[in-house]
Structure 1
Amino acid sequence: MEFIVYLAGQIHDDWREKLIKKVEERNLPFTFVSPQTNHERSDNIGEDVLGKQPSNLYKDAAASSINNFRTEVLLQKADIVIALFGEEYRQWNTAMDVSTAISMNKPTIIIRPESLIHPLKELSSKANVTVETVEQALDVLAYIFD
């Protein structure tokens, strides 16, 4: 049995690569997809597809529509969603991905530090599981096969 896991969350560090490596070390049958993690590509996709936009407002709107399309397609394909919230960045996109995943009835794991318990309480109450570390999320994934 192979599962597709959508990895939502901050794109400014290597948490995805660490999680994928640990999954491979445990020989677990997961395939991973994620939002566009190349920040420049994500910001410029609207103009790459539609051409130069008249202002940053239109540039962002064009990029958003294409990024949202990509995210929705991948979330629909996903069997499981893992969303990491860190302390350093405001992660509005991650919150939106989690809300979308929950509305699609996707099993969802939220990773967030203790300091974000209060600001993420509503999302955590809707998610299936909330943990504090990537390792704990991995243990939850592995438990599927126990």
Structure 2
Amino acid sequence: MHWNIYLSGEIHTDWREQIIKGCEALELPVSFSSANTDHDSSDAAGDVLGPQCEGFWRDHKSAKINAIRIKTLIENCDMAVIRFGDKYKQWNAAFDAGFCAALGKPYVTLHSEDIIHPLKEVDGSAMGWATTPEQVVEVIRYTIQG
């Protein structure tokens, strides 16, 4: 079986690349997908729908266009990894985790110990909590190979 893994969350560090390289090194049968991780183009996704505006309406239009990609990729994944970083609040990642839970899609969270409390409900529905990308790679390896 070839596994489709959706990588959600924080975009300011290289955690995605670490997981991808770790799985490549183990030659695991996986492919990865993600929301658009380029902040500027993600914010501008809705600009094609009419005159550019600022604030709420620009964010609203772009969120809906981005949601087409995110919704489709999550619906088609076999598993998701939801990353919560330390620097910014990733409300979108929490939403993705809730969407996974609602769909019955297994997901693993990736975050540091100091944000356990605010993520208790998100972690409560997760199949696992990791603190490093290496742990995520091991979870993926085990899930695929047993």
Alignment TM-score, normalising by the size of structure 1: 0.95
In the alignment, which residue of structure 1 is the partner of 2:33? 33
Counterpart check, 1:114 vs 2:113: yes
Runs (4 or more) in structure 1 with deviation over 6 Å come to: none
CA deviation string 1:7-62 (max 9, x = no partner): 00101121111110111001001100001001111000100x20223432211110
- Distance in 2, matches of 1:17 and 1:131, equals 16
- Distance in 1, matches of 2:27 and 2:40, equals 33
Q: What pairs up with 1:67-146 in 2 under 5 angstroms?
A: 67-144=66-143, 145-146=145-146
- Distance in 2, matches of 1:42 and 1:137, equals 26
Q: What pairs up with 1:8-87 in 2 under 5 angstroms?
A: 8-47=8-47, 49-87=48-86
Report SS of the residue matched to 1:119.
helix
Structure 2 unaligned spans of 5+ = none
Amino acid at match of 1:22: G
- Distance in 1, matches of 2:89 and 2:52, equals 26
Report SS of the residue matched to 2:57.
helix
CA deviation string 1:73-95 (max 9, x = no partner): 11011010001111111100000
Report SS of the residue matched to 1:12.
coil
- Distance in 2, matches of 1:12 and 1:87, equals 10
Amino acid at match of 1:137: V
Report SS of the residue matched to 1:6.
strand
Indicate the RMSD between aligned Cα atoms, in angstroms.
1.0
Amino acid at match of 2:91: W
- Distance in 2, matches of 1:64 and 1:98, equals 17
Alignment TM-score, normalising by the size of structure 2: 0.95
Shift of 1:105: 0.4
